[in-house]
Amino acid sequence: MSREETSDEELILRISGGDREAVRLLYQRHGRLVYGCALQVVSDAAAAEEVCQDVFLRVWEKSGTYQADKGKVVTWLARIARNRAIDVLRSRRSRGIIAEAPADESITAAPGSGADPGERLWQSLRDERVREAVASLPPEQRKALALAFFQGLTHRQIAESLGEPLGTVKTRIRDAMLKLRARLGEREGI
Amino acid sequence: MSDPHPFRDLLPGYSLGILDEEERDGVREHLAACAACRAELASFREVAGRLAAAAPERDLPAGLEARIMRAVGDRSARQDAPGPRRPAWQPARQRGSRWPALTGIAAAVALVLGAGNLLQWSGVLSPAARGMPPRLSTAVLAGTASAPEAYGTIVLDPKDNKGVLAVTGLPTLDPGRQYQLWLIRDGQRRSAGVFSPDAEGYGSLLLTVPVDFRDFQSFGVSIEPRGGSPSPTGPRVLSGKL
């Protein structure tokens, strides 16, 4: 069966059955996204490479955690990549390699380039529908969500970083996720 | 009437992994028993997945594919030979002849852990759902801040006062330390044995409960010196209620 004829879900099934070649096919199909997703968070090529390797090893060992009725393989992979990258970022913070609770100005490794760094990350999203959904959020919700999503800061750390009350930050993030769910679900059936 | 979904507002934050430890523990415990909140969480996870999947693709580093395939091969080599892969949870040491029923249960429990999906637990762990004898009781253990990815379950058979613990996601310890399971009753802790997870963080323990286990209200797992301690001395990594 050719690579084009095999669905992502079939590849996951084959991996569950011990087919190593299916891991290679999944990597060739989605490796660029997984790597890009990791790089977006850790801003370091070597660390992103480690994350990418971890993601595909995890797929190899835990393909049974994938539930087709909960979403596509690609979103599952990307979420694992983002979570692993956040783990790396937190580990670096705890070891003092990077600031413990960075201000939002340090959200990317491209300082001094003008626009709000969280905004730049949102605007760099490849999927136009997702980019538009995020753009429809109020700016304060986008900013709080950027610190949560790209930096993995807790509600409390975000509140400290922005100088806002904890309850306000919780509400912003909850409302942002509710709006995104509604907006993306309109056409995608989330 | 109390709110049946007291953690609903925290589910978006939980899906992003940005809750404080205390909040996270509360949500986990509630999720284990609430199908509606599990479904709600799944929808927020999908949103998080969509955000992540919208990331710009990047050119892959040279040689990464080969390194990944080599790593996959290495992991495979550590598993049992040909045929279906041995699940990573499977304990290296079996005492099947002595405890045939419980090792069967251990396999079922560990299969669940192998599936690794907390959202499936409550249904799968239901004794009736798995054809287990209805007398069996189960308890879900959630990871603490010291081991946030850890989780596990205990299945107990009150007839024989025996049970099995199966866990996953535990950090590997240095050779001088082991994990120790504690049975907790009225603030008093009684050791139920020590265990060491494998390189992938999976561990299991067959245990004998000295008296009717229903006397115990909760369970905990802590890091202790090899061989165990008379009472907990190290950080708690897992906890759960019966």
Close Cβ partners of B9 (under 8 Å, ≥ 6 residues apart): A170, A174
Give the model's confidence band at B132: pLDDT under 50 very low, under 70 low, under 90 confident, else very high: very low
Beta strand segments in A89-175, E? none
Higher pLDDT, B41 or B95: B41
Model pLDDT, residue B213: 65
Q: Which amino acid is at A151?
A: Q
Question: And the tokens for A150?
Answer: 């790209």
> Would the pLDDT of A140 be above 50?
yes
Q: Name the residue among B166, B192, B196, B205 with its Cα closest to residue B178.
A: B196
Banded pLDDT at B96 (limits 50, 70, 90): very low
Compute the nearest-CA separation of A5 from chain B (Å). Answer: 21
**Alpha-carbon span B111 to B117, nearest angstrom:** 10
Tokens 């409390």 sit on residue: A156
Neighbours of A1 (CB within 10 A): 8
**CB interface of B with A, residues 223-242, below 8 Å:** none
Chain B nearest-CA residue for A64: B115
Give per-residue pLDDT as tens, A22-35. Answer: 999 999 999 999 99
As a whole number, mean pLDDT of residues A182-190 equals 66
Q: Characterize B88-104 residue by residue with b for buried, 16 or more Cβ atoms within 10 angstroms of its Cβ, and e for exposed.
A: bbbbeeeeeeebebbbe
Q: Which two tokens stand for residue A117?
A: 């760094």
Quickly state the pLDDT bin for A115 (edges 50, 70, 90): low
The DSSP code for B226 is T
Query: Is B15 near chain A, with CB under 8 Å?
Result: yes
Question: What pLDDT shows up at residue B88?
Answer: 35
CB contact under 8 A, B55 and A36: yes
Contact at CB, A17 and B84, closer than 8 angstroms: yes
User: B63 at the A interface (CB within 8 A)?
Assistant: no
**pLDDT in the model for residue B192:** 84
State both tokens at A12: 């996951």
Inter-chain residue contact A155 with B47, CB threshold 8 Å: no
What local confidence, expressed as pLDDT, does residue B175 receive?
76
Is B52 at the interface with chain A, CB within 8 A? yes
Q: What is the pTM of this model?
A: 0.61
* A18/B45 CB distance under 8 A: no
Instruction: Between B178 and B109, name the one with better pLDDT.
Output: B178
Tell me how far apart the alpha carbons of residues B50 and A187 are, in angstroms, rounded to a whole number.
13
Distance CA A52, CA A36 (A): 9
More confident residue, B217 or A81: A81
Instruction: Give me chain A's average pLDDT, please.
Output: 86
- Of A32, A130, A178, which has the smallest distance from its Cβ to B54's Cβ? A130
Closest Cα in chain A, distance from residue B14 (Å): 10
Cβ within 8 Å, pair B55-A180: no
Q: Is the dihedral of CA A28, A64, B21, A119 positive or negative?
A: positive
**Residue of A23, A49, A79 with shortest CB distance to B45:** A79
The tokens describing B199, both together, are: 């390189």
A40–B56 C-beta distance less than 8 A: yes
Select the more confidently predicted residue: A65 or A111: A65
Residues of B in contact with A178 (CB under 8 A): 12
Residues of A in contact with B85 (CB under 8 A): 18
Q: Rounded to a whole number, what is the distance in Å from the CA of B84 to chain A's nearest CA? A: 6
Give me the residues of B, 70-129, that contact A with CB < 8 A: 71-73, 75-76, 84-85, 88, 114-117, 119
User: Amino acid identity of B108?
Assistant: A
Q: Do B73 and A20 touch (CB under 8 A)?
A: yes
* pLDDT top residue among A114 and B208: B208
The residue to which tokens 């060739």 are assigned: A28
Q: How far apart are CA B92 and CA B102, in angstroms?
A: 16
Name the residue with tokens 């290495």. B74
Asked if A178 lies within 8 A of B12 by C-beta distance, the reply is: yes
B187 DSSP β-pair partners: none
